[in-house]
Structure 1
Amino acid sequence: MEDQYEALYTTFRWWVPQRLNIADLCCRRWTAASADARRLAIYAEDASGRREIWTYGRLQEYANRLSNGLRRMGVQRGDRVAIALPQRPEAVVAHIAAYQMGAITVPLSVQLNTQTYEQRLRDSEARIAIVDGSAAAALLPATEHCPLLRQAVGIDLDSDARVLSWRTLLARQESAFEMHPTSASDPALLLYTSGSSGAPKGVVLPHAALIGNLPGFVASQNWFPQPADILWTSSEWGSPHGLFGGVLPTLYFGQPLVGTRERLAPAQAFALLERYQVTNLALTSRELRRLLKADPCPSASHRLAVRSLAVTDTALGAALFERCQTAFGVAPNETFSQVEIGTVIGQSSEKWPVRAGSMGRPYPGHQIAIVDAHGQPVDTGMTGEIAVNRYDINGHSDPSFFAGYWRGEETGRPVNSTWHRTGDLARMDEEGYLWHLGRIDEMFQVGGQLVAPGPIEDSLRQHPEVDEAVILPVPDGSGIKAYIVRSVAPQHAAEPVQESPAVEGAESAPSPADVPADAEQSPEPDAPVTPASPEAATVHQETLAAQLDTLLADIPGQHHVEFVDALPLTPSGKIRRQAFKQIEEERQRKWPPAPANAAPLP
């Protein structure tokens, strides 16, 4: 294959009109002609099997009605509209309606708990919240403590007196609405960071952020769109990845996407891909691993049409890359993104050679550097922090950049006014490929040595009966501990699982519920692991402990393994490592180690 990277990267130029609105880019312009208005925009399904088809014309009509309704409720330019909806067409309607009236959307996961909903609604000072049954039980109680929230609008919640019926609201409004003029730099979205290693931060993105994300989206989807392209993403449409790696770019190009209100089991997901002949997938690495563990060769059992697969969240690793390529017949395009800067690094298997295990190259339009602690570029092959320039190689402003943090919070660890430091460590080779080593805030020292958990966790996940793994330092610094989620249950499920022989007196495995009450929590997106039959093969703890010792042969100390039912995750699927740290600190307080000179118990 011809390597086209250099030509694509060096000749790319940004063009961002001064007047810009996401609603116009993703919907309104597709309704100017009647033929375009009939273009298919969304294929929607629910758990009962009911299916809907929405055209761009229908999306725009509903958005106009909702904009009129929001205006009658007092929503003005710059006001925040919270949207807590799953993958359903009304979620897109809500976004379009808010953007075209100059309001700011606050997309919220349907996985949050009441405490977190209250925090987000109060922090954003949202005026309106739009919700359905997926999040109503947790969100509506939170609204009672949000004095600035004027109204909750409920979809399919007509019997709930706490909400204004979506159906009633739209039925009373006119189907025409004149879009509010906005500039490319005007705020459009208020998104919150994952909070995997600290308190979530509100990130304000302008309308231009959609344009800024297009090069990464087009390249990672192997030059989307092709005439028959249909996209499905496993991510919530309210997540940064779901919005900018799926919904908004697909609608920008006037192509259809597939939405399902409930999270699909692997067999259901593959059936969905076959039913709609989905050509483009946008998955997290966790979701990809889950699908392939359930069916290592879906192309043999389903008539799939997948031509491109973009993967984000955490590094794929060479082993998962090869498994994916075998399973789907296409090389997965790993991508790197953050809420603040969009998708700026990744692969594009049809335009330049893909390196298994690499996070890819800087996408056209984005200027990347690997810097040391002082912000100075490091030599090729040396480890440093990924930094992204606010300007491309031609000196033009990069539209993918965020406008700032909500309430004026400090912008991370800036090298200077031009660079944004990501907090991710990597090295760049001679050909410009980047190799991810982990998050700075996830790395730790044991025995005077710096440990990057990512590669070790990836090696543990390769075990056929390991579903998920995370490693952390033992609180007293004496070694490393691996928390393992098994793909199958132990043979004697009724017996409590004890820690590996290297650790004595361990308590039962932690769960997300063990997190202290003052820590931000969210339900585990993955369903609990279903217990296997007694005849099922099991993971032997001693074997994994030995594997961990091999991986950490150069790290001094005793290393331990503990099985857990699930890992505490953020709504976006990232591991909340801080939760495990809090659990272990609590254990230390409850059961402190015995003094070295303590007498043995009688």
Structure 2
Amino acid sequence: MNLSTQLHQTAARLGEKPAYYFMDQASTYAELDAAVTKFASGLSQLGIKKGDHVALILGNSPHFVIGLYGALRLGATVIPVNPIYTADEIGYILRNGDVKTVVGLDLMVQLVEKLHEHLPAVENYIICESGQTEANSIDISKLSVFPKLKTFNQIIASGTLDFAPVELNEEDVAIILYTSGTTGKPKGAMLTHRNLYSNARDVADYLKMNENDRVIATLPMFHVFCLTVALNAPLMNGATILIVPKFSPAEIFRLTKKYEATVFAGVPTMFNFLLQYPEGKAEDLKSLRLCNSGGAAMPVALLEGFERKFNVLVSEGYGLSEASPVTCFNPLDRPRKAGSIGQSIIHVENKVVNELGEELPPGEVGELIVRGPNVMKGYYKMPEETAATIKDGWLYTGDLAKMDEEGYFYIVDRKKDIVLVGGYNVYPREVEEVLYEHPDVVEVAVVGVPDPNFGEAVRAFVVSKNPTLTAEQLLEFCREHLAKYKVPSSIDFLEELPKNTTGKILRRSLKDQVLQVK
């Protein structure tokens, strides 16, 4: 079984049910499945074959959903790309990923014009209409790339419903997800049809998603968290997706109230924005039965504050691109533990090991490793990196964790983020958790910086709601709750913290800024 076939079967069963709402317009499962088939047929007529690589440079939209499932139905390999990447970043992924066809917004035609001479392997650029005036002002017929340009609507119109889906093997590569590349160039994680299908199925079952659910998709669809939890898993069981082009607290409250949304998936920053939104009322979120948090560790103070204000359960989980992505979630039928990423989902094993790969007893900190049908095939064209990451069938995550006696896992920190102060390990998350407890702190990030006396020192960056709050007041607060070596050597106040497109706070960016100043 694969995602495309599953969608077709769901459409046969629930054809008239809304598959998604976008800009307050509904599209049924029958309409979605027909569009997917036509798009697959249209791609085939362009000469796209099984195994060819198709890049989606799109935001959250029906174009992304149809493009993804249409390419998969044809047997092509999809490469989702963040549309706000620079020309250099996009060009690297398209070249390294051996992309043959690009699907992107019409707003990108000038970038395409700039890149296409350096991308001889790309044969087709399929442009999706955005309806924005700046796109309409471009005369694409005068562009040198024009012969390679088609529109999304042209591809759909040229397709037919009698297109026969290509036979897929579960070990065929369905998607290549390029990691953010915090160390060196991005790596392309190859996810098979089995990887994606099994994780969507197991997440849907674990979170008890069904055809009565209405799931908010505001996380970026090109990111694996949204891809599985808010797109593939809901479509697996006939739920309705509420597609949000861009995260906005006001829009989340409006959509939840209007459509009686039942599931919201987000990163901690999104929950923080919702909690801080002055006009947000518990009444507006009363239809939610569940909120899922992932992408980064959620501060306990934030989790408890959100649940207290809105009276809705927040189930924190864990995943990574190389695992399609979910490996853990807090269970819905057993106690939820604040600060924990929960227990292993069905069919997936997690364990904590030392540097020799030996499993550690409960309570001890080590590296989290993962095994299951969701673990990637490897990194595209990077056999050495693959061998260093997957050993004896286990995926080494690079995250430090511990497990309690009941099998609940806790992320301590990224292995590379540990701050070594005079020989003592300081986990940034522990310091961040304390600072989040202060009533005037909105956001915080902690990094390690060079120190001539102790090797490294702890430095905190804080966003505060109180303009009179001082660094000394926060340091005194830390001294009451942390050992002396864990207390930040300095605290900087910022208007906002740097984040990536999913809303994840970028510690590395802050650390780089400090080093550049030095």
Fold equivalence (TM over 0.5): yes
- Give the secondary-structure state (helix, strand or coil) at the position aligned to 2:381: helix
C-alpha offsets along residues 116-157 of structure 1, whole Å, 9 cap, x if unaligned?
111111111111111115655656634443221122211115
Distance in 2 (CA, whole Å) between partners of 1:347 and 1:362 is 9
Q: Relative to structure 1, is the Cα distance of residues 329 and 219 closer, same or farther in structure 2, using a 3 angstrom cutoff?
A: farther
CA contact (8 A) 1:211 1:399 kept: no
**Aligned residue number for residue 377 of structure 2:** 403
Shift, 1:572, TM fit: 3.1
Structure 1 distance, partners of 2:115, 2:465, is 36
Describe the SS at the equivalent of 1:432. coil
2:393 is the counterpart of 1:418: yes
* Equivalence for 1:224: 209
1:192 and 2:199 correspond: no
Pairs within 5 Å for 1:156-167: 156=129, 159-161=138-140, 162=145, 163-167=149-153
- In structure 2, give the amino acid aligned to 1:369: K
**Aligned mates of 1:568, 1:355 — CA distance in 2:** 29
In structure 1, the residue matched to 2:403 is 428
Whole-angstrom CA distance in 1 between matches of 2:486 and 2:431: 15
- The structure 1 residue matched to 2:37, chosen from 44, 47, 64, is 64
Deviation, 1:236, is 0.8
How far, CA to CA, are the matches of 1:155 and 1:348 in structure 2? Answer: 40
Deviation at 1:262, TM superposition (A): 2.9
Cα distance in 2 for partners of 1:572, 1:424 equals 19
Q: Secondary structure at the match of 2:485?
A: coil
Q: CA deviation at 1:56?
A: 1.6
Q: 1:134 to 1:448 in 2, by over 3 A?
A: farther
- The answer for the alignment partner of 2:102 in structure 1 is 129
- Residue 238 (structure 2) pairs with residue 254 (structure 1): yes
- Structure 1 residue 219: Cα displacement: 5.6
2:294 and 2:316 in contact (8 A); partners too: yes
Matching residue of 1:41: 19
SS at 1:475's partner residue? strand
Contact 1:112–1:138 (Cα < 8 Å) also in 2: no
Percent identity between the two aligned chains:
25
SS at match of 2:391: coil
Higher strand share: 2
Partner of 1:448 in structure 2? 423
Matches within 5 A, 1:368-517: 368-389=350-371, 398-409=372-383, 410-411=385-386, 413-414=388-389, 416-476=391-451, 477=455, 479-487=457-465, 490=467
Written as runs of structure 1 = structure 2, the 5 A alignment for 1:346-365 is 346-349=329-332, 351-365=333-347
Q: 1:559 to 1:224 in 2, by over 3 A?
A: same
Deviation at 1:411, TM superposition (A): 2.5
CA distance in 1, matches of 2:313, 2:498: 30
The AA in structure 1 aligned to 2:355 is A
Q: How far apart are the structure 1 equivalents of 2:363 and 2:316?
A: 20
Residue identity opposite 1:200 in structure 2: P
Match of 1:523 in 2: none
1:211 aligns with 2:189: no
Match for residue 260 of structure 2 among 271, 277, 294:
277
Report the CA distance shift for 1:433/1:468 in structure 2 as closer, same or farther (over 3 A).
same
Please state if 1:74 is matched with 2:59: no
Determine which structure has the larger helix proportion and give its number: 2
Which residue pairs with 1:120 in the alignment? Answer: 93
What residue is the counterpart of 1:23 in the other structure? 4
Show CA shifts across 1:433-454 (max 9, x none). 1122111011120121111101
Aligned residues: 500
TM score, norm. by length of structure 1: 0.78
Which structure has more relative contact order (CA 8 Å, sep 6+)? It is 1
- The Cα offsets for residues 520-544 of structure 1, whole Å up to 9 and x where unpaired, read as xxxxxxxxxxxxxxxxxx4333323
Residue number in structure 1 paired with 2:132: none
Partner residue of 2:122 out of 131, 149, 156? 149
What amino acid is the match of 1:164?
Answer: K
Q: In the TM superposition, what is the alpha-carbon distance from 1:320 to its structure 2 partner?
A: 2.1
Distance verdict in 2 for CA 1:430–1:71, change over 3 Å: same
Deviation at 1:167, TM superposition (A): 2.1
CA distance in 2, matches of 1:485, 1:557: 18
Could you say which residue in structure 1 is the equivalent of 2:503? 573
Letter in 1 for 2:425: L
Give the letter aligned to residue 437 of structure 1: V
Please say if residues 83 and 108 of structure 1, whose CA atoms lie closer than 8 Å, have aligned partners that are also in contact. yes
C-alpha separation between the residues in 1 aligned to 2:34 and 2:181? 37
SS in 2 for 1:474: strand
Cα distance between partner residues in 1 of 2:108 and 2:435: 34
- Which whole-Å CA distance do the structure 2 matches of 1:160 and 1:446 have between them? 59
The one-letter code of the counterpart of 2:327 is: V
User: Scaled by the length of structure 2, what TM-score is found?
Assistant: 0.90
Q: Which moved more, 1:97-106 or 1:173-182?
A: 173-182
Deviation at 1:557, TM superposition (A): 8.7
In structure 1, which of residues 75, 78, 84 is the aligned counterpart of residue 57 of structure 2?
84
Q: Is the 8 A contact 1:191 1:202 kept in 2?
A: yes
Structure-2 change in CA distance of 1:122 and 1:571 (3 Å): farther
User: In the aligned structure 1, how far is the partner of 2:351 from the partner of 2:33?
Assistant: 42
Contact 1:127–1:150 (8 Å) recurs in 2: yes
Partner-residue secondary structure (3-state), 1:555: helix
Which of 544, 558, 566 does residue 474 from structure 2 map onto?
544
Of 343, 360, 364, the residue aligned with 2:326 is: 343
Question: Does residue 1:236 correspond to 2:220, yes or no?
Answer: yes
Whether the 8 Å CA contact 2:289–2:313 is kept in 1: the answer is: no
Amino acid at match of 2:5: D
- What corresponds to 1:598 in structure 2? none
2:408 partner letter: Y
1:56-103 C-alpha deviation (Å, 9 max, x unpaired): 221122222222222222211111111122221121110111001110
Is the contact between residue 282 and residue 311 of structure 1 (CA under 8 Å) also seen in structure 2? Answer: yes
The question of 1:560 aligning with 2:493 is answered no
Counterpart of 1:224 in structure 2: which amino acid?
M
